[in-house]
């Protein structure tokens, strides 16, 4: 073979190797982003487990012994709760268990236990990759600890409120009098009531949930304390975030709420009533009928409840939230307005402010001040580094293939 022909062949082989390499990397990245799909389900009726009797016949457990390293597994079931009014009830259990890859529906009736899933006085349970549809309450977590609710789909749970006041009893995910509960990465749509509620609960995390088209509140944290609400997207509900505290007692306080987006909600983006010492920053409030509504009654001696609408959250800067009706200016170009944003309060006796409102929606970064030439050089090198590495890899592969052709032609 002529030398020019060898070089052409070496060139094309090199390009093919690089293409295959990058396609493989891309496919792996896409695979990681895809959630597992529910499939290969077996139909059955309700499941009732009490006092760690997971392993008894008929309870749907396929594997495990209840230890942390080998939890009980309940998976691959289509559970129809129509006959009994509930689908899965687990009471007074502390063994480790996982419910996954199940389709749970039809838990309707007149009692609190008419739920897709009900945990009472339980701990150490995970619910993942389940579809929970058309129940009075999608998931009811009562007096529990150490429960993970992750990567589930919920749709059309709850019932239309009948009016007459009182507490809302039907929700998509209801966490009541519990602690250390994590509700994360769930897709919750068309709930006929509150989508996620923490009620009198502490040390819980509500993280990275997508909530769409609920008839009541997207997230309710009433009378709950020391919780983290972050990275959630709440749109087209009645209110995006709702929190109330009872005057003098059962406060809604010391919750940290950041990096959430409350978009196009019918009544208001955030509604607080008698709440105090909550910290909110990096939240986006866009297209809501009302942006923020805060109603604070007197606590005692003329003092009022108060929340903090900013925090030290970016390069040690104090930062607030983005409000689409903010009209102040950012003359320094750091993404933070110089004019405080007044939080609307029904009671004229008190005024609260976000002193560091954002001038553009927060997307994970804020503008920074001009860098020095040294910082600019380092950033340029870091941007170019991946391309330099790829060029070096191509060069080495080209040299190796070319050498192989020359050695084979001896």
Token match 């009726």: residue?
A: 45
Are 109 and 250 contained in the same domain? no
Structural domains in the chain (count): 2
Segment (H or E) for 408? helix 373-408
Are 220 and 365 contained in the same domain? yes
Are 252 and 135 contained in the same domain? no
Residue 205 lies in a domain: no
Question: Which whole-number Å values give the CA distances from 394 to 15, 24, 238, 404, 408, in the listed order?
Answer: 8, 16, 56, 15, 21
Residue 185 lies in a domain: no
Residue pair 76/105 in contact (Cβ under 8 Å)? The answer is no
Residue pair 179/201 in contact (Cβ under 8 Å)? The answer is yes
Are 132 and 248 contained in the same domain? no
Residue 231 lies in a domain: yes
Residue pair 74/96 in contact (Cβ under 8 Å)? The answer is no
Nearest CA among 152, 126, 119 for reference residue 47:
119
Q: Tokens representing 40? A: 């290969």
Residue 308 lies in a domain: yes
Are 311 and 258 contained in the same domain? yes
Residue 324 lies in a domain: yes
Residue 279 lies in a domain: yes
Are 223 and 170 contained in the same domain? no
Are 153 and 235 contained in the same domain? no
Question: Which whole-number Å values give the CA distances from 276 to 177, 207, 298, in the listed order?
Answer: 20, 22, 11
R_g over Cα of the chain:
27
Are 155 and 273 contained in the same domain? no
Residue 390 lies in a domain: no
Report pLDDT digits (tens) over 29-46: 333 333 445 668 999 999
Last residue of a domain, one of 174, 190, 208: 174
Are 253 and 133 contained in the same domain? no
Are 50 and 161 contained in the same domain? yes
Residues of the chain with confidence (pLDDT) below 50: 17-36, 164-166, 369-372
Residue pair 311/318 in contact (Cβ under 8 Å)? The answer is yes
**CA–CA separation, 327 vs 283, rounded Å?**
17
* Residue 160 belongs to domain spanning: 39-174
Q: Tokens representing 347? A: 């009671």
Would you tell me how many other CB atoms lie within 10 Å of the CB of residue 365?
A: 8
Are 151 and 272 contained in the same domain? no
Residue 146 lies in a domain: yes
**CA–CA separation, 149 vs 180, rounded Å?**
11
Are 333 and 254 contained in the same domain? yes
- pLDDT value, residue 377: 60
């Amino acid at each position: 073979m002529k030398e020019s022909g060898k070089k052409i062949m070496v060139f094309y082989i090199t390009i093919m190797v690089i293409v295959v390499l990058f396609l493989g990397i891309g496919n792996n990245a896409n695979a990681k982003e895809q959630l597992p799909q529910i499939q290969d389900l077996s139909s059955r009726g309700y499941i009732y487990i009490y006092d760690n009797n997971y392993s008894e016949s008929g309870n749907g457990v396929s594997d495990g012994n209840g230890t942390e390293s080998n939890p009980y597994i309940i998976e691959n079931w289509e559970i129809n709760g129509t006959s009994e009014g509930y689908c899965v009830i687990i009471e007074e259990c502390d063994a480790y268990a996982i419910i996954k890859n199940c389709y749970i529906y039809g838990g309707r009736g007149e009692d609190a236990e008419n739920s897709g899933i009900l945990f009472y006085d339980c701990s150490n349970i995970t619910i993942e990759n389940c579809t929970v549809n058309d129940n009075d309450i999608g998931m009811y977590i009562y007096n529990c600890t150490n429960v993970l609710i992750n990567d589930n789909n919920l749709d059309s749970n709850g019932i239309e409120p009948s009016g007459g006041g009182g507490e809302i009893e039907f929700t998509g995910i209801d966490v009541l009098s519990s602690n250390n509960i994590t509700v994360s990465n769930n897709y919750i749509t068309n709930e006929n009531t509150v989508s996620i509620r923490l009620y009198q609960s502490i040390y819980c995390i509500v993280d990275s949930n997508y909530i769409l088209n609920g008839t009541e509140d997207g997230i309710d944290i009433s009378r709950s304390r020391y919780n983290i609400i972050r990275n959630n997207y709440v749109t087209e509900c009645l209110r995006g975030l709702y929190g109330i505290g009872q005057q003098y007692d059962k406060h809604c306080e010391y919750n940290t709420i950041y990096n959430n987006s409350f978009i196009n909600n019918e009544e208001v983006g955030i509604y607080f009533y008698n709440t105090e010492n909550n910290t909110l920053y990096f939240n986006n409030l866009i297209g809501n009928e009302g942006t923020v509504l805060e109603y604070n009654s007197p606590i005692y001696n003329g003092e009022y409840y108060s929340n903090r609408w900013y925090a030290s959250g970016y390069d040690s800067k104090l930062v607030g939230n983005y409000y689409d009706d903010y009209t102040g200016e950012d003359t320094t170009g750091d993404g933070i307005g110089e004019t405080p944003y007044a939080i609307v309060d029904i009671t004229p006796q008190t005024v609260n402010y976000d002193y560091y409102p954002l001038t553009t929606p927060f997307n994970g970064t804020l503008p920074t001040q001009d860098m020095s030439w040294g910082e600019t050089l380092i950033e340029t090198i870091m941007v170019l580094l991946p391309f330099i590495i790829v060029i070096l890899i191509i060069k080495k592969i080209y040299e190796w293939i070319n050498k192989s052709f020359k050695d084979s032609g001896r």
